[in-house]
Amino acid sequence: MKTHVLQHAWFEGLGSIATWLAAQNAALSYSRFFENPALPEPHDLDLVIAMGGPMSVNDEAALPWLHDEKRFIREAISHGVPVLGVCLGAQLIASALGARIFPNRQKEIGWFPLEAVPSVGDAFRFPDKLTAFHWHGETYDLPPDAVHLARSAACENQAFQFGRRTIGLQFHLETSPAVVRAFAENCGNELHPAPFTQSEAELTAAPASRYTENNAVMTCVLDYLTAKQSACRFQAFPESTARSGSI
Instruction: Specify the pLDDT at position 234.
Output: 57
Q: Among 12, 87, 108, 155, which one carries the catalytic annotation? A: 87
Please determine, for residue 120, whether its predicted confidence score (pLDDT) is greater than 90: no
Instruction: Specify the pLDDT at position 231.
Output: 63
Q: Report the share of the chain in percent with pLDDT over 90.
A: 89
Closest to 5 measured CA to CA, from 32, 41, 44, 42: 32
Domain ranges of the chain: 2-241
Instruction: Specify the pLDDT at position 9.
Output: 96
- CA dihedral angle for residue 77, residue 78, residue 80, residue 84, rounded to 10 degrees: 0
The yes-or-no answer on residue 148 being catalytic is: no
Instruction: Specify the pLDDT at position 247.
Output: 31
Q: Report the share of the chain in percent with pLDDT over 70.
A: 93
The yes-or-no answer on residue 172 being catalytic is: yes
Instruction: Specify the pLDDT at position 235.
Output: 45
Q: CA 128 → CA 85, 187, 237, distances in Å? A: 21, 30, 12
* 85, 168 contact by CB (below 8 A): yes
CA distance linking residue 244 with residue 247, whole number of Å: 8
Closest to 122 measured CA to CA, from 44, 235, 205: 235
DSSP structural state of residue 69: H
For residue range 148-188, list pLDDT tens digits in order: 999 999 999 999 999 999 999 999 999 999 999 999 999 99
- Please state the rounded mean pLDDT for residues 116-139: 93
Instruction: Specify the pLDDT at position 217.
Output: 97
Instruction: Specify the pLDDT at position 243.
Output: 28
Instruction: Specify the pLDDT at position 245.
Output: 30
Instruction: Specify the pLDDT at position 238.
Output: 37
Instruction: Specify the pLDDT at position 72.
Output: 98
Q: Among 8, 134, 174, 220, which one carries the catalytic annotation? A: 174
Please determine, for residue 221, whether its predicted confidence score (pLDDT) is greater than 60: yes
The yes-or-no answer on residue 174 being catalytic is: yes
What's the CATH class of domain 2-241? alpha beta
Instruction: Specify the pLDDT at position 110.
Output: 97
Confidence band (pLDDT; 50, 70, 90) for 230? confident
Instruction: Specify the pLDDT at position 232.
Output: 77
Please determine, for residue 236, whether its predicted confidence score (pLDDT) is greater than 80: no
- CA dihedral angle for residue 146, residue 233, residue 129, residue 137, rounded to 10 degrees: -40
Other C-beta atoms lying within 10 Å of the C-beta of residue 145: 11
Confidence band (pLDDT; 50, 70, 90) for 119? confident
* 116, 91 contact by CB (below 8 A): no
